[in-house]
Structure 1
Amino acid sequence: MSDYSYHDLSKMIDHSLLNPTLTVDDLESGIELAIAYEVASVCIMPYYLKRCAEKLKGTGVAASTTIGFPHGGHTTAIKQAEAQRAIDDGCEELDMVVNISKVLSGDWQYVQSDIAAVVEIAHAAGQKIKVIFENCYLNDEQKIKLCQICTELKADWVKTSTGYGTGGATHDDLKLMRQHAGEQVQVKAAGGVRDLEGLLAVRELGVSRCGASRTAEILGPARERLGMPMINATATGSAGY
């Protein structure tokens, strides 16, 4: 007997629809796939968020999008405007990229105020926020400092990567983030979780969410292992994840 249910696994998945080459038909089929597999959320390009939120209404799958994506170099005012528009369009979870340049420069006051500005908008609207570090560019000291800042600001998740940097989630980084983020802050892995065994491995490390485009390849075997009917759906998503 497995020590997990299907929803224990499916509700770890944020189905990624962020590849800029995805067509409207791809986005529509990707949303349908996410609904069929009963994932946690669909993280979609901002321009299609409103339509996505409409389709997801009542399904139990949350609508999410990105802020300051993928490089984090937007001004704070633009990130705030993006966040407010996302909320207005029905976003329930915002995935925000830190200002990587400012992190590498050691300007922690700027970094904290930049994150705080978006956290405030999300939480004022009763929605949640994930803060993306892009760990492939950072050292452990910088990752730890970001975990401390996000804990202080009461971010809902700390997240390893955009999926578009030079690397994705590593087990060492996930362990580090789980160790240094507060108990109330969850950890999201993005980039590199491509099959069921990978999902189970990061689950054991305390990860509660994974950004994935290979949702069918991950959850299909989970359904098979648990003796559930298979779903006839075509995987659509972002190669970056």
Structure 2
Amino acid sequence: MDIKGILAITDHTLLRPTSSWDEIKEILDDAMNFGCASACIPASYVEEAVYYVDNELPICTVIGFPNGYDTAETKVFAAENALENGASEIDMVINLGWVKDGLFDCVEEEISMVREAVMDRVLKVIIESSELTEKEIIRLCEVVTDSGADFIKTSTGFASGGASFDVVALMKKHVGEGVGIKAAGGISSFADAVKFVELGAPRLGTSRLVKRAIAGDFS
């Protein structure tokens, strides 16, 4: 896959807590200029961003981010509010405590509730794979598939680790048909991006690839 193709499946991302509107606008401009899949930004900027891009770029936002321990009802409200403000895609963080307690039915119910709220928009489910065992990742592949989500996503980028080749390969083996994989967290080179795609991730999340493209660094 060439550079243009990689950027076309990239959610150009800015989720730093101190992100300003000027920085968000820069992200939006760059994402439009490079033909990215979306710009992933904080929910508080979605309404302004949708107006700013004027239908030229899908706007993605996050809920339950980055820790995932909001109640299911809070996540549903946040998803509905983001959609009302014009978001096209929602990346939600699961409740990792429930995973550690073995409450996978609760995890699935929560995702299904958000799925219903999101309706026909794209829903990606962040499982924070660096904090999980292989067995937990495999079980979550099944849960995300059964919940009707569009993507399973590796990481928030705010935990102890990000996307890894091994985890994406594991997800590809166990996720159900029709569910995509979004590799996110720590993807800093086009070479790594290509590898993630080859392993089965049709969507990437990163803040660095567009910056590399702007600098003319395509390594």
TM-score above 0.5: yes
**What are the within-5 Å matches in structure 2 for residues 1-241 of structure 1?**
4-59=1-56, 61-122=57-118, 124=119, 126-220=120-214
The structure-2 alpha-carbon separation of the partners of 1:25 and 1:207, relative to structure 1 and needing over 3 Å to count, comes to: same
Maintained 8 Å contact 1:199/1:218: no
Taking structure 1 as the reference length, the TM-score comes to: 0.86
The structure-2 alpha-carbon separation of the partners of 1:113 and 1:222, relative to structure 1 and needing over 3 Å to count, comes to: farther
Report runs of 4+ in structure 1 exceeding 6 Å deviation. Answer: 221-225
Point out where structure 1 has 5 or more consecutive residues left out of the alignment: 226-241
Shift of residue 53 of structure 1? 1.5
Share of identical aligned residues, percent? 33
Deviations 1:172-202 (A, max 9, x none): 1000111111120000011121111111111
* Equivalent-residue separation in structure 1 for 2:212 and 2:149 (angstroms): 27
**Greater alpha carbon shift after TM alignment, 50-59 vs 161-170:** 50-59
Point out where structure 2 has 5 or more consecutive residues left out of the alignment: none
* Equivalent-residue separation in structure 2 for 1:144 and 1:55 (angstroms): 40
- The aligned amino acid for 2:28 is I
Shift of residue 108 of structure 1? 1.3
* Equivalent-residue separation in structure 2 for 1:20 and 1:214 (angstroms): 17
* Equivalent-residue separation in structure 2 for 1:7 and 1:58 (angstroms): 20
- The aligned amino acid for 1:31 is L
* Equivalent-residue separation in structure 2 for 1:195 and 1:207 (angstroms): 15
- The aligned amino acid for 1:68 is G
- The aligned amino acid for 1:201 is K
RCO comparison, higher one (Cα < 8 Å, 6+) = 1
Q: 1:230 — aligned with what?
A: none
User: How many residues were matched structurally?
Assistant: 219
**Greater alpha carbon shift after TM alignment, 17-26 vs 4-13:** 4-13
Deviations 1:83-135 (A, max 9, x none): 0001101111100000011111111121111111101111x2x2010000001
* Equivalent-residue separation in structure 2 for 1:130 and 1:222 (angstroms): 30
